[in-house]
Chains A and B, each alone.
Chain A
Amino acid sequence: MAMSVTMDQVVKRAKDSFGQMFDKSLHDLVRGIRNHKDNEAKYINEAIDEIKQELKQDNIAVKANAVNKLTYLQMLGYDISWSAFNIIEVMSSNKFTFKRTGYLAASQCFHEGTDVLMLTTNMIRKDLNSSSMYEAATAMNGLSCFINGDLAHDLANDIMILMSSTKPYIRKRAVLLLYKVFLNNPDALKPAFPRLKEKLEDPDPGVQAAAVNVICELARRNPKNYLPLAPIFFRLMTTSTNNWVLIKIIKLFGALTPLEPRLGKKLIEPLTNLIHSTSAMSLLYECINTVIAVLVSISSGLPNHNASIQLCVQKLRILIEDSDQNLKYLGLLAMSKILQTHPKSVQAHNDLIMQCLDDKDESIRLRALDLLSGMVSRKNLMDIVRKLMIHMDKSEGSHYRDELLSKIIEICSQNDYQHITNFEWYISILVELTRLEGTKHGNLIALQVLDVAVRVESIRPFACNQMAILLANAHVFIVGSNTTTVAEVLYAAAWICGEFCSYLKEPQETLQAILNTKVTLFPGHIQSVYYQNILKIVTHLIQSSNNDQAFAKQLISTTIEKMSAFLSSGDVEAQERASVSLHILKTVLKLLEKSDFNINELSVLFEGSLNPVAPKAQRKVAVPNGLDLDAWINEPPSESEDESVVSETHYDNKGLFYGNSENSYSSNSYANEASSYQKTKNYVEPTADELEQQRESRKQSEQMNPFYLKDTKKSKATPKTETPTTATNGNENLQSSLSKGAIPSNLQVSLSDQLYRQAKIDEENRRLKKKSKVDGTSSKKGKKSSKKSDTVAADDNDDDIYPTIKVTRGGELPEGATASGNEDNDDDNNTKVGNKNKKYDPHRALNIDLNEVPKPTPSPPQPKQTSQKPVDVPSPPPPESHEKPKKPKKKTTAEKEAKATNSKTKLKKPERSDYKELVSPIDDEETTAPPPPASSTIPNEKPKKKKTKEKKSTSKTAAAEANQSAPLLFDIMSDEIPSSNQSTQQQNEQDLYKLAAQSDNLTVEYSIVSKTSAAELDVTFLLKNRTTSIIDHISIHVVDSMSSKLLNTTSANRISFPSLSLFPHAQNYLHVFFTINAISFPQKLKTTLSCSVNKSNQIENDTIEFKLNLPCSQYLRRKTLHSDAFADLMNSGTLTSQSNVNISTGKPNFTSIINTICQSYRLTVVDNVNSAASLYAETILGHPVALLIKSTNSPSNISINGKSTEAHFLSNLLEEIQTSFK
């Protein structure tokens, strides 16, 4: 295509006409810059001077040329803000050529803070309304870049008017520009929204797409306000063929589904169809993302749910396998989203993820690493880590290696080492990690070693000896550079060897190794630990020497000799500790000389053991009575220097142990654990004289102080520390690998590998052993046992072949506190922080309830119409009512938040009860449309669906297109999934609601379903509002009986549904659950339902009392059984109870009788021969129930012979069946 006129040509023509007047065209400038590469700045400064001259001329063409050049210079980074006024001059030219140049310059260099913008309002308004569509478009393009609050406010109306322009070219721009207006002037959203919504149905696809874009952007930030538009978007999605638009719509649904799970269910099918059919990767990717969002939001209850995940995972696998790095990257990204909710599905693709670790692209490797942590299990942990270790050797770049290291530690340590079956192996991995050059994660490794040694008691001997090897080779860690922190591991090594020195194989040699190290070269906090632990080892050596005085003397004097060197440490803390230790030793030596030494005096320093403290323990400590934490403690000069004050410093002064490295410790994710280490008991007063006193007072304060770590014995008794049983073969394993722990350090490189192999062999052995066991037992065990195992939750069968090693999980808590007790507090804190971050988000201001009508007009109430058209009510999306009791807190906080951010809603709330027809000027045209008949007719057509409420929440917006949107709305919102087995099954059996009670205001019906998974009944109440008022504050009170208990109660025996409101003539469902622990007898539960009816002027309270009937048959659940198994069961003699009954059914057809019984009582037919049938079911407690039904003499007479293990239940059931036929 030929290039038409450019600015240069314009300038050239001008040049011809006016000779010398122009110095340079843009071309000249660009060329000049390229020719002056050496002194570009000088050249440009000259050019700017010229431009300034040009701008002083009157000729607008010259000015425009100057501005054009400035636009170029701006891009090169030169400041042109001084020319803002000239730019406006050029913008205001009435020639399109110059106007365009001016607007371009403005869009490039103006921003919302540019002060000359306030001069432009009228000019822009004039341009927006220009008769030339290109001029208007130019103005809109420019405005979209530099619009600010004032412009948005002043021009909002003009832009609104442009939305109804006859030219699609203008309309679509106006629609897109509107979004910028909203961002800068949130008040504009509400009045403009109806117009914007209309544009979704614009005849021009471009305008439609623009409206979709804008609403998508709006809805991503505040989805709940846009939920009512779902039907329109659903239709657009199924009709549109433009992928650009489809992607936006699908993205929009991704934002909406978390609020409305039923929408998600409805989406699955069209989305999976798209996934199957589309060839556009971008669309495919978007569909997968939205399907994932849907699956996350409906975590249960969808039967073909697994198929959808499988489809996504398969498609993602194809993306990841693609040679295109982009697809690979995005595939991994999406995979990690699935991983959060469906780890099993992703784990199947372990191999693929592992392959990605070898990818050339670091960002892909990092993504794969992210995935790995979610994929590990006990089975594959060792393989994965081994692979990562090999990988680490190969990889380049310390950043990536550090990333690998921290990932290895993360996946191993997650959930308190849940996946680790062999801690010897883990310790050796950690030791190997210390050989990593230049790692920044020394702290992390050190803390891991400490944590494992403290939490896993059985590993201490092994860990201790591994650490001794490290200490013996400590010299390798003395490196000059500051880039690595790997020496930190010595901190852990020294402490472990000291604290658990009884496990040391050769404590004396370890002591020598420590003493011979140039300890003073290490950071202060490491030195401190060294000195402290020298003392521990010495104590241990003397203790175990059986009072060998000579040995003790010799040992102490050599130690004193070596330690003297440490006094010269540059670190204050370390020096002090060295000095204290030294003097203790000297005192001991003195006492030894006098033969006056008792080892217990020394060993008492290190008595007791260390237990982990739960992360939140500190916060759980109740404030003692009479302690005012806000009151001054030290205001009056303290008179008594109580010892307890001194001892208290150990736990409140964190800096004590860690010195200046404290920050680096708490900055990593192990900060919580770190704080528990700080509470060690290694606090020593300088002189031995004070020790005794100190110890006494400390013991006292320990007893008094709930903060303090308890004794070992106590901690073992506390139920808070999980102590899984230690499998015997686990111990054997430990012993066998212990002997391997003694490998000399130079062979140690392969230690983790050896342990790995050993573990693999052990694993295989156990597997074989288990297999033979299972084979042996399964043949012996009868059918009954297999049935039992059915009811037990299906475990990962392979898991039990791994040894269970005792890991002290969590940590100690103060008495009476439970681990979950304060969780709510945390949540509060989190949300607060989250809110703070969002403070400056302009979208917060756009959280406006769009269904609410701005102003009520004083039109007289029309009762007849209100019942049909109660449409103006802002209502939250109808949530699944039975979910509410489970998360009442979240719900209320969310509500609070909504109220806080949207005070308007709050103010308007009283209107809800009025139910007048609210008409605003803007909505006039809509409301003149005939009122939709839908809301009154459709509930009758599909009485079972929870539709009425949706109707209400959406119908305001849907009013104009009621005929189109209303049916679709039900269509997509309804619970029904055509192909789902579940729903058909439900219809077959129990979906007939029985009347429970009725008052003037409410009809209560109910239906009972037994849960397949637990011994629970799910009772669904169907509430129908018989009034023209809103009914809310519904709560249900059920008196618990001996054998049943109401679940999820909000107060004693009561469930409240605070967020549920029933609109006039609407109906809604309430789910309540009962646990059942005995099934023998039918029950009638006294139930009270209370609610408030918001009559026009007053609120009436209504209570309905009724008996909730739980007949025995409701305790049955469907269970299919093969006829062979059934025969075995009958012959086994386990069904000891029998009961018989003869019934005259009055029905001639035997088969139909059987069908009726099956449907009413959830029985399934096992066998049906001629005039006899055997039926089977199970109670919700798992008792088998077998019935043999025979037709006697006449076909309408039957005899039922029942067998079960529960006599009472059986006879009650048969009685029930008998009565039902009468």
Chain B
Amino acid sequence: MIQFILLFSRQGKLRLQKWYTSQTDKSKKKITREIIAAVLSRKPKMSSFLEWKDLKIVYKRYASLYFCCAIEQDDNELLTLETIHRYVELLDKYFGSVCELDIIFNFEKAYFIFDEFILGGEIQETSKKSVLKAVNDQDVIQEVETPQGLIDEY
């Protein structure tokens, strides 16, 4: 099971975090700090895997962003790499040539895509089309509901 997913920039700035195990803010911060440091210290020619405590960290860099997944000992590293890649593809399809700024400014959308793709650390939908359809459908609901929404509420 995926334990958590972190997206961060080359400068070590966290861009996205998704935790599939319950953690306090304090331990989240600590883990994040340690993992960002560990991954950033890796040299470019190194493999995408590192062992961290009793977890395995699988990471991949896309342009300026590191995508990093923590998985358990008997999980499949290559499958995790594919998961990361699939997520990047989803982002790319959704935003259209995604870049770091898209994720910074629309971070909640990035999270919503996560939620359609992964639930509780397990892949729930392997079809890109289905994921994007679900995300778009919800966007439509939001759009429809917005003007009335504000008037109703007020």
Contact = CB atoms under 8 A, between A and B. Distances in A.
A132 B108 CA distance: 20
Contacts of B152: 95
Interface string B130-142: 1010101111111
A360 B45 contact: yes
B105 to A, nearest CB: 6
Contacts of A148: 22
Nearest to A2: B96
Nearest to A96: B141
B66 to A, nearest CB: 15
A111 interface: yes
A326 B77 contact: yes
Interface stretch (A168-176, A848-856, A1162-1170): A168-176
Interface stretch (A69-77, A416-424, A864-872, A1046-1054): A69-77
Interface in B84-131: 93-96, 104-109, 111-112, 115, 119-120, 122-127, 130
Nearest to A362: B46
A584 interface: no
Contact of B134 (A13, A132, A169, A176): A169
Contacts of A176: 119-120, 122, 124
Contacts of B149: 61, 95, 97-98
A77 B138 contact: no
Most buried by B among A27, A180, A362: A180
Contacts of B46: 325, 360-364
Most buried by A among B19, B24, B29, B138: B138
Contacts of B45: 325, 360-361
A3 B124 contact: no
A1184 interface: no
B100 to A, nearest CB: 12
A6 B47 contact: no
A134 B141 contact: yes
A27 B77 CA distance: 36
Contacts of B1: 217
Interface residues of A, number: 85
Given A27-B105, A104-B111, A363-B49, A76 B14 contact: yes
Contacts of A71: 107-108
A179 B120 contact: yes
Contacts of A132: 141
Contacts of A361: 43, 45-47
Dominant SS among interface residues on chain B: helix
A444 to B, nearest CB: 23
B115 to A, nearest CB: 4
Most buried by A among B29, B43, B127, B142: B142
A1064 to B, nearest CB: 39
A1117 interface: no
Contact of A247 (B79, B109, B143): B79
Given A169-B134, A247-B76, A282 B82 contact: yes
A186 to B, nearest CB: 16
B137 to A, nearest CB: 7
Contacts of B95: 1, 3
Contact of A172 (B74, B81, B124, B137): B124
A169 B116 CA distance: 10
Contacts of A819: none
A525 to B, nearest CB: 35
B22 A1 contact: no
A715 B104 CA distance: 75
A173 B123 CA distance: 10
A318 interface: no
A1170 B123 CA distance: 71
Nearest to A172: B124
B153 interface: yes
A108 B17 contact: yes
B23 to A, nearest CB: 6
Interface string A291-329: 000000000000000000000000000000000011011
Contacts of A61: 149-150, 153
Contacts of B112: 100, 104
Contacts of B141: 96-97, 132, 134
B25 interface: yes
Contacts of A329: 47, 49
B16 interface: yes
A197 interface: no
B119 A326 contact: no
B47 A145 contact: no
Interface stretch (A207-215, A679-687, A1078-1086): A207-215
Interface string A191-211: 000000000000000100110
12 contacts: A7-B108, A79-B25, A96-B138, A140-B119, A173-B119, A179-B122, A213-B122, A244-B123, A254-B74, A255-B74, A360-B45, A364-B46
Interface of B: 1, 14-17, 19-20, 22-25, 29, 43, 45-50, 74, 76-79, 81-82, 93-96, 104-109, 111-112, 115, 119-120, 122-127, 130, 132, 134, 136-143, 145-147, 149-150, 152-154
Interface of A: 1-10, 13-14, 17, 26-27, 30, 59-61, 68, 71-72, 74-77, 79, 81, 95-98, 100-101, 104, 108-109, 111-113, 132, 134, 137-138, 140-141, 144-148, 169, 172-173, 176-177, 179-180, 206, 209-210, 213-214, 217, 220, 242, 244, 247, 251, 254-255, 281-282, 285-286, 325-326, 328-330, 360-364
Given A5-B139, A108-B19, A247-B79, 14 more contacts: A1-B132, A3-B109, A7-B108, A14-B150, A27-B105, A60-B153, A75-B107, A97-B142, A108-B111, A109-B25, A144-B20, A251-B74, A282-B82, A286-B79
